[in-house]
């Protein structure tokens, strides 16, 4: 089992590019089954979650190849409507195939996606929305057996702007001859990227990125080429690393508008932030200051996925920072590992209080989820001495060339097998 070795307290210097967005490319890859023609997806990161998604596409009968950041889905028919449990368990977000498979074949069989390290991951909003769209769903021994019974115009009001539920509605509604309106839809940039892909295929989606989305379905889809948007959370992670370790870095190939709440928190902490069209220049020298209170919210609020990396930087800030995690049940599991590095963190339910300390110290820590693992690396870069991080399977789900990119900024980091 490989581990990351990081020898900290080295200021970071230089330029680093941001790879394509995991949370955009996964639903886009699911959407490729809507078209029997070829799909070419560029700027696709090499991640274990992407490999799991390609395995599902092949299980559904499609030929999918990945090479040098480009996924090619060859022309072909989707010959299967079932996703086996072992593949569902590999990928938490595999539930987003439900809408696409139903749109393509009119039926779908898949197991309930497992919970994950962030707590139970219910899909009630996905299922209630699909039922409103005329899908009959029976739940049998942990399996979902779905079939499209009726097709009609539908207006769906989401009680919470769920990203995955919005994506599932879009993927199904695109493939039926009806009009669907989604009220209180998720507004994340990844929703806009999915809509852009689906519209390129021949769908007609208006309002993506707002809370009110209109989808006019179609039965004719054309081959498409698409470049995936930059990963705003990977960008936030690199920025957090500079905040923790100090230095001067240009983070490139990103959309700073997708990161506004994170940039303002880092500026409040005393980092110099200069946002260009597709870069963010960050300088941190001198003591980090506390960031008052950070509440995670649906977009355009502070992103829950950036909570852990920013907390790692806040552990070294002078003063107290309060985090309120409003999106997931249990997303503070990295706090315990940060405390083992010398951080002063009190967790009470959805609230974590971080009292900054002058120093963190390298030790052995274990990642328990994707962003929590990245947070341990951020802390290690600002810590004194060597940190050994295990559980790299979590980090590899969402970060492509993680240690190579940080090493290019001068970090003393290596993957030890």
The site for ligand EPZ (CB under 6 A) is made up of: 22-23, 26, 93, 121-126, 160, 162-165, 186, 188, 304-305, 327-328, 370-371, 398
3-class secondary-structure state, position 247: strand
Nearest approach, Cβ of 384 to ligand EPZ (angstroms)? 29
Cα–Cα distance measured from residue 357 to residue 210, given in angstroms and rounded to the nearest whole number: 40
Task: Please identify, using beta-carbon distances, which residue of 30 and 383 lies nearer to ligand EPZ.
Answer: 30
Place of tokens 């039922």: 131
- Is 116 tagged catalytic? yes
Tokens representing residue 239 in the block:
């920025």
Task: Please identify, using beta-carbon distances, which residue of 121 and 384 lies nearer to ligand EPZ.
Answer: 121
Nearest approach, Cβ of 162 to ligand EPZ (angstroms)? 3
Question: From the candidates 44, 80, 81, 116, which is the catalytic residue?
Answer: 116
Task: Please identify, using beta-carbon distances, which residue of 26 and 245 lies nearer to ligand EPZ.
Answer: 26
Task: Please identify, using beta-carbon distances, which residue of 26 and 156 lies nearer to ligand EPZ.
Answer: 26
Task: Please identify, using beta-carbon distances, which residue of 23 and 78 lies nearer to ligand EPZ.
Answer: 23
Cα–Cα distance measured from residue 171 to residue 165, given in angstroms and rounded to the nearest whole number: 10
Nearest approach, Cβ of 232 to ligand EPZ (angstroms)? 10
Nearest approach, Cβ of 367 to ligand EPZ (angstroms)? 12
Helices and strands, counts by H and E, the chain: 14, 24
Cα–Cα distance measured from residue 398 to residue 415, given in angstroms and rounded to the nearest whole number: 16
Task: Please identify, using beta-carbon distances, which residue of 233 and 383 lies nearer to ligand EPZ.
Answer: 233
Cα–Cα distance measured from residue 167 to residue 34, given in angstroms and rounded to the nearest whole number: 14
Nearest approach, Cβ of 297 to ligand EPZ (angstroms)? 10
What is the CB neighbour count within 10 angstroms for residue 172?
29
Nearest approach, Cβ of 270 to ligand EPZ (angstroms)? 27
Comparing CA positions, the residue from 381, 372, 384 lying closest to residue 342 is 384
**DSSP string for residues in 52-114:** HHHHHHHHTT--EEEETTEEEE-S------EE-HHHHHH-GGGGGHHHHHHHHHSEEEEEPPP
Contact in structure between 312 and 379 (CB atoms under 8 Å): yes
What is the CB neighbour count within 10 angstroms for residue 189?
21
Place of tokens 């960050």: 282
Which residue, judged by CB position, is nearest to ligand EPZ in the bound state?
Answer: 164
CB-count exposure of residue 149 (10 Å: 0-12, 13-18, 19+): exposed
- Catalytic residue annotation: 116
């Amino acid at each position: 089992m490989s581990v990351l070795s990081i020898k900290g307290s080295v200021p970071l210097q230089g330029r680093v590019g941001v790879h394509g967005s995991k949370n955009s490319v996964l639903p886009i890859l699911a959407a490729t089954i809507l078209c029997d023609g070829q799909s070419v997806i560029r700027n696709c990161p090499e991640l274990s979650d992407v490999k799991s998604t390609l395995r599902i596409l092949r299980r559904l009968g499609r030929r999918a190849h990945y090479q040098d950041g480009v996924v090619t889905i060859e022309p072909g028919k989707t010959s299967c409507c079932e996703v086996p449990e072992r593949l569902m368990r590999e990928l938490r977000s595999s539930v987003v195939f439900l809408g696409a498979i139903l749109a393509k074949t009119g039926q779908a069989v898949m197991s309930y996606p497992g919970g994950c390290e962030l707590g139970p991951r219910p899909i009630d909003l996905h299922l209630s929305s699909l039922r409103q769209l005329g899908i009959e769903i029976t739940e049998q021994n942990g399996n979902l057996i779905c079939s499209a019974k009726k097709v009609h115009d539908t207006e769906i009001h989401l009680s919470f702007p769920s990203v995955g539920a919005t994506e599932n509605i879009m993927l199904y509604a695109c493939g039926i001859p009806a009009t669907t309106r989604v009220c209180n839809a998720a507004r994340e940039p990844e929703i806009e990227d999915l809509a852009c892909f689906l519209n390129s295929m021949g769908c007609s989606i208006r309002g993506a990125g707002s809370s009110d989305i209109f989808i006019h379905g179609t039965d004719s889809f054309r081959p498409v080429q698409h470049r995936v948007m930059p990963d705003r959370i990977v960008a936030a992670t690199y920025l957090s690393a500079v905040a923790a370790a100090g230095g001067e870095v240009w983070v490139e190939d990103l959309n700073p508008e997708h990161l506004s709440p994170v940039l303002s928190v880092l500026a409040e902490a005393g980092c110099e932030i200069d946002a260009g069209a597709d870069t963010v220049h960050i300088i941190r020298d001198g003591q980090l200051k506390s960031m008052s209170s950070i509440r995670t919210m649906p977009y355009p609020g502070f992103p829950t996925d950036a909570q852990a990396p920013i907390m790692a930087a806040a552990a070294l800030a002078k003063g107290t920072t309060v985090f309120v995690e409003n999106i997931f049940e249990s997303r503070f599991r990295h706090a315990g590992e940060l405390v083992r590095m010398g951080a002063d963190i009190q967790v009470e339910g959805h609230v974590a209080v971080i009292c900054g300390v002058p120093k963190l110290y390298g030790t052995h820590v274990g990642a328990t989820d994707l962003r929590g693992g990245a947070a341990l690396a951020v802390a290690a870069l600002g810590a004194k001495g060597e940190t050994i991080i295990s559980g790299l399977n979590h980090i590899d789900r969402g970060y492509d060339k993680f240690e190579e990119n940080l090493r290019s900024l001068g970090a003393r980091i290596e993957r030890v097998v």
